[in-house]
Structure 1
Amino acid sequence: MVELSNRPLDANDEEMRLFQQLFKQHIGMHLPQSKKALLCSRLSKRLSELGLPSFRAYYEVIAAPNQAEERQRAIDLITTNETYFFREPRHFDFLRKQVLAHAPQNETLRIWSAASSTGEEAYSIAMLLDAERHDAPWEICASDISQRVLRFARRGVYPMARGEHIPPEYLKRYCLRGNGNYAGQFMVEQRLRERVQFSQMNLTALPKQFAKFDVIFLRNVIIYFDMPTKTQVVQSVTQHLKPGGWLLVGHSESLHGMALPLQMHAPSIYRKPP
């Protein structure tokens, strides 16, 4: 007899539709049929751990109102979290040359990393602000839907290879080389980690009471939504952008066709009129 944990699991089309509906309902994620293999590979191990015979059985578990914790675990497993330090460097050049150079030194500069994943984006921003703002006040809010990546981000510990895009002077100034059990890794220094506030947030259901920001990084996340959800998310996010503030999206993303109170400054860089 083949053990359940060793038997390959596959979702049929009806089961795939159930998961598509569930992820759309809870996080606004558009999971196309072409991603069925990804769904199976990400969730099969969890089905085996729970001793469940099918994807429908797992769906019935995570769709139950009292199974929020297991549903969150499924969300953590299915969401893609590909990022690295100083990704899309033109945005950081823009932040330094166009935003920080003109930001008042006596006012708190607030930046939101709205899809922060494992923290590389937020810590990249923090390094730049600490280096350029000196004693001027600043705050960084970083959010993600996944509790798993937020736990990773708060630790601030990364494989050495993940630091290859960090400018050498920042790597030396803000990162500590690990030894012993942490050999082959580096840690973002504690002082900088404490300046970044990580929190779980669903971009399709933002809290009404939330801060206003000078800059919002909303990069490489709206590609996972269908058009109506993209529009809803960007409209909601821009409500938390100060007049004159900047919205940065991924280089491969576009806000074309959306009714938004934004003006395009450059591809992937938008401004809310003052």
Structure 2
Amino acid sequence: MPSEEVFILFQRLVQKKLGIYLSKQKRLMLGHRLAKRLAKTNIASFSHYYRYINSPENSAELELALELITTNETFFFREPQHFDFLEKHILPQLNPNKAFKVWSAASSTGEEAYSIAMLLSQHYQAPWSLCASDVNKSVINHAKKGIYQNERAKLLPQHYKESFCCKGIDEYQGYIRVKPALRQRINFFCFNLLDPMEGLGQFDVIFIRNVMIYFEDETRQAIINAISKRLSVNGYLFISHSETLHGLEHKFELIQPAIYRLQARCL
């Protein structure tokens, strides 16, 4: 495990590069995730590894280290109340003559995006599109492949599993893979939430769950300001139940826990 002083250096590096604040409780996690890279690069200490990744000629290793530090595990239909609300309250009130647009703004390895896509494919007959982004290139590549351990699908309803997934065999025993027809419906891309969002277009629903807990208030405020401009009139914002907009300036109306609607006067 890195010393407290070295952990602070990594903490500042991650915040500078990604805007993510690592609490001191993440020190053990950081050490565990980077230990293999130290062994791979034959570097004896975390302090030497820190200096190594900050050298311009080692930018590829820096990118890899940042990806390892910020990767988060998730699973299908996490926080199922959100998907129930989408199905039962949002979809029935939509204009079927207008395309419905959704953005999974911190999609990690893709389980959230595929959960949304399965629900829309099953319950919404009008045109829809789904974008899914993450700052971490490796998890986006994982998401595009759509291969997951069965443990990640523990909350995936059986009828969705049968309709949209294939069961792994041989070396993929214990895995499922999302079928190509559904994978092709999602636009996966790498995106940093601190970057300008103007080119992303407008969305009716934005999921940004389990990511703002890693940002400090100033950064969270900037992200919420930018996100609000990407939502259509009366668009919905989903955050995780472990997060809140409390203490931030915003024009969202709380509808249910962790579900907000943008008030029209904000636009």
Per the normalisation by structure 2, the TM-score is 0.94
CA distance in 2, matches of 1:68, 1:125: 35
Letter in 2 for 1:112: W
The partner residue of 1:19 within 1, 10, 16 is: 10
Work out whether residues 261 and 273 of structure 1, in 8 Å CA contact, stay in contact via their aligned partners in 2.
Answer: yes
Query: Which residue in the other structure is 1:37 paired with?
Result: 28
Work out whether residues 144 and 201 of structure 1, in 8 Å CA contact, stay in contact via their aligned partners in 2.
Answer: yes
Please state how far the C-alpha of 1:66 moved relative to its aligned partner.
4.9
Work out whether residues 244 and 272 of structure 1, in 8 Å CA contact, stay in contact via their aligned partners in 2.
Answer: yes
**Among the aligned pairs, what percent are the same residue?**
42
3-state DSSP class of the match of 2:233? strand
**For the structure 1 residues 82 and 70, does the alpha-carbon distance in structure 2 shift closer, same or farther, using more than 3 Å as the test?**
same
Work out whether residues 84 and 121 of structure 1, in 8 Å CA contact, stay in contact via their aligned partners in 2.
Answer: yes
Q: Runs of at least 4 residues of structure 1 off by over 6 A? A: none
Please state how far the C-alpha of 1:183 moved relative to its aligned partner.
2.1
3-state DSSP class of the match of 1:209? helix
Answer yes or no: is 1:97 the counterpart of 2:94.
no
Answer yes or no: is 1:57 the counterpart of 2:48.
yes
Question: Which aligned pairs between 1:166-185 and structure 2 lie closer than 5 A?
Answer: 166-185=156-175
Query: Which residue in the other structure is 2:221 paired with?
Result: 231
Deviation string 1:14-63 (CA, Å, 9 cap, x unpaired) is 21121111100111111122322221111121012112232222222322
Answer yes or no: is 1:47 the counterpart of 2:38.
yes
Query: Which residue in the other structure is 1:189 paired with?
Result: 179
Query: Which residue in the other structure is 2:144 paired with?
Result: 154
The partner residue of 1:250 within 220, 240, 246 is: 240
Gaps of 5+ in 2: none
Work out whether residues 264 and 270 of structure 1, in 8 Å CA contact, stay in contact via their aligned partners in 2.
Answer: yes
Query: Which residue in the other structure is 1:199 paired with?
Result: 189
CA distance in 1, matches of 2:144, 2:171: 18
Letter in 2 for 1:208: E
Work out whether residues 198 and 230 of structure 2, in 8 Å CA contact, stay in contact via their aligned partners in 1.
Answer: no
Query: Which residue in the other structure is 1:6 paired with?
Result: none
Q: CA RMSD in A?
A: 1.5
Per the normalisation by structure 1, the TM-score is 0.91
Query: Which residue in the other structure is 2:260 paired with?
Result: 270
Work out whether residues 22 and 63 of structure 1, in 8 Å CA contact, stay in contact via their aligned partners in 2.
Answer: no
